[in-house]
Structure 1
């Protein structure tokens, strides 16, 4: 069309209402988008098997699979989970909105749609998804993987490198273990006698999500190796960052007064932290706690 603005972005519109399809197709084509069309959930799946769109405009209520079902199908496969889904719905009640976000949608517009609003939201989500994907791919090229943890310690997203690294770990609930390791301040997690995961927290990545950078590598030779069982025990204890610092200095043979001076707190506060550490680790003495910490740090 004359005056179209080339974007090279592909949008899949899924709606069983012909008037909505025609209206959106014309408007998006005029903005330079390549438009794919599906009239129900089954057609939507078929289109996505053939071509990967940059975004999906999805009707919530359709014959056959609902839009919520289609969104869940999109998000369950890592190869297409990055595609932003924007719901179009006449269902403006809170439970329906919540269901849309729970299914994996990033946004919603209420019918009858206003094209200016759709274009603004679409452009923002396509841009954000592309930037995020490029960043994750660049990270993978560097040999490291990226993991997003939600507020419950579940893996919300993982890059291909991270997925392979965690598969080699063989942990039944890797998200919870990663979160526990982060809270305990652990920078390494033993996979077995030969391999380890190097872990780094990159910070917040969205609504109550934490981004982690990790890499599977051979454990260093020529140094004492940490004890996997001790690492697991320390991770499961979920020590706070301050408790981890106190335990680390305790393992180095420091007294309560030494630790207090180093960390800028009173000896009484150090003692209170140690009481919590002992309770969480299930030990009764300073020596037992120090020995456990030393095995984790791989020190003799």
Structure 2
């Protein structure tokens, strides 16, 4: 029997603005994934996985998981931790499928997944593990209304940029919440950024590349001006270059502060983008 693979997730659009009522678009990224393993390779990765899962089993009262861990089970994952690609979401989806009670109701499963992922993040929406669990794109209309897309959108022109720097989500969300106390920032997020996010999602779903670049460029510019703490120093020059030339645009992919960024170009192919961004790893999303 084949062991199921649990993919990483990419939050294509909707980072932060989903907290203020915008839509979001999240999808599985199968190039990175995790699976259950009993291979006894005595690596640090294996031991860290087992230690984390044992803590989860004790905190969430999962005796069967604890028993299996005692017999050598662990979660073998290629998803880097702290890079915004849902490493904990994949683990939680795997735990839920093996030890939880899956229901036919999407919202009920999301709530159950969120409770499990709270162990890692303190507070979870449940969207990351839900993407890994169902392994289909999610169009999130709001935190309580989620639509499963049966077909993957055309992602030609999208790519991931590895900043090489891990980050923690919690402190960055705290920065955002503090910024929301500023009326000008709050108004900008609600009236400018959230609208561009919604328009960009609509453009992705309609395969409208011209309007898509227009809105992603505006998202990039807004984040450049209002989210400077979330943009690592190592990519600020490249980010500015995209804004100035209009050949490509970079935006946060999740919380920001490190991890992966999302890039988009409707002018240059991935080979050309790799020549421009030659100091960073690029990953194709198509």
Q: Please indicate, yes or no, whether the TM-score normalized by the shorter chain is above 0.5.
A: no
Greater RCO, 1 or 2 (C-alpha within 8 Å, sep 6+): 2
Q: TM-score, normalised by structure 1?
A: 0.25
Which has more radius of gyration? 1
